[in-house]
Amino acid sequence: MKKTILFIAFCAVIGLTTQAQVIPNAGFENWTTAPGQSYKNPNGYATSNQSTVVPVTRDTINPHGGNVCMKLTNLYYLVVVVPAVAGTGTLNQSNLSINGGFPWTTKPQTFDGFYTYAPGAADSCLMMAMLTHWNGSSRDTVAVARFQSPASAAGWTAFSSWFQYKNFNLTPDTGFVLFSASSWLPSHAVQNSVLRVDDISFNGTSNQIVEPVTLPLVKVMTDLPNALVYFEVTNSVVSSIEVLNSNGQTVGQLQVQQGSNRMNDAGLPAGEYFYQLRNKERTSLGGGKFVIAR
């Protein structure tokens, strides 16, 4: 079990395969019993499933499309919460990494799909995609798309995240996608967070250089005497910030610009809060959390 948990630190060693240029099993219709096990994994994906606990399962109850979707549930087992994670490739037990990927040679604009989410206490889900290029000795990251949200989504909800190109001059040769019921891995998976995912895709074509995004995009400071929260925006790609409470309810929204921006928090009770960053197209750029203490 320890090996299975450790590989979730997102150490992805992506190898080129010879399949057609499509995201494998994008509708999660096809599942195969793991060798020597009784559980099934989605074809083309490594998961955190193991013989004693199975966090990633096929769900045939009200999928978004087709007959099946993928369901990821963080499960308590013995003394730990086993995170629910799935990524394209196969699990390499020798170095605790995900090996594999799928051929991809164009420069898409967005990583899209549909999801439902029931977070545990103060949790958030993660959908991530990466494009890479083999330089002859190692892999260079061409672009990354990341969608993260703490909000509940009871019905099927579309997600879309723009690829942020770190080196537009490189042509990708491999794609990789990863899904997790908790974004704060590996040590902070929350019990009973449930994420369902279906019908994923890469869309559009990026014909221009996209400004690389350097984290952190925002620095957060609280001014308790004046009941203010300051968001220091460090990159002009961020155009708005949505603030949510620990139940995933929106409690504040700001239109922001690069530099210092402030929000009055006088009406908010003490507690932990999340913020979601968006660009001008309302695409998620990630997020974080802060605490209001009274």
Residue 73 counted as domain residue: yes
Domain boundary among 146, 169, 203: 203
Residue 208 counted as domain residue: no
Q: Compute the average pLDDT of residues 95-122.
A: 83
Domain boundary among 203, 230, 258: 203
For residues 48 and 93, state if they share a domain. yes
Give the pLDDT score at 167: 79
Give the pLDDT score at 136: 92
Residue 213 counted as domain residue: no
Banded model confidence at residue 100, pLDDT cuts 50, 70, 90: confident
pLDDT at 98 over 70: no
CA distance 265 to 287: 18
Give the pLDDT score at 221: 81
Q: Compute the average pLDDT of residues 248-276.
A: 84
CA distance 118 to 182: 11
Q: Compute the average pLDDT of residues 132-144.
A: 89
Q: Compute the average pLDDT of residues 238-262.
A: 83
Give the pLDDT score at 294: 65
Banded model confidence at residue 74, pLDDT cuts 50, 70, 90: very high
Q: How do 97-99 and 240-244 pair as beta strands?
A: unpaired
The helix (run of H) or strand (run of E) holding residue 233 is strand 228-233
Asked which of 142-146, 212-216, 261-265 is least confident by mean pLDDT, the reply is 212-216
Mean pLDDT, all residues of the chain: 81
Banded model confidence at residue 81, pLDDT cuts 50, 70, 90: confident
For residues 199 and 249, state if they share a domain. no
Residue 211 counted as domain residue: no
For residues 230 and 162, state if they share a domain. no
Q: Compute the average pLDDT of residues 135-152.
A: 87
Of 32 and 15, more confident: 32
Domain boundary among 203, 230, 254: 203
- End-to-end CA distance of the chain, in Å? 41
% of the chain surpassing 90 pLDDT: 35
pLDDT at 18 over 90: no
Asked which of 8-22, 172-186, 242-256 is least confident by mean pLDDT, the reply is 8-22
Global pTM value = 0.69
Please name which of 233, 273, 285 lies closest in space to residue 256, comparing C-alpha atoms: 233
Provide the residue range defining the domain that includes 288.
218-292
Residue 210 counted as domain residue: no
| DSSP string of 85-148, one letter each residue | EEEESEEETTTTEEE--EE--S--SEEEEEEEEE--TT--EEEEEEEEEE-SSSEEEEEEEEEE
Give the pLDDT score at 96: 37
CATH number of the CATH domain containing 243: 2.60.40.3080
Q: Compute the average pLDDT of residues 235-245.
A: 84
pLDDT at 168 over 90: no
Reading the block at residue 151, the tokens are 């909000």
Residue 209 counted as domain residue: no
For residues 55 and 178, state if they share a domain. yes
CATH number of the CATH domain containing 151: 2.60.120.890
Asked which of 82-86, 109-113, 183-187 is least confident by mean pLDDT, the reply is 183-187
How many domains does the chain contain in total? 2
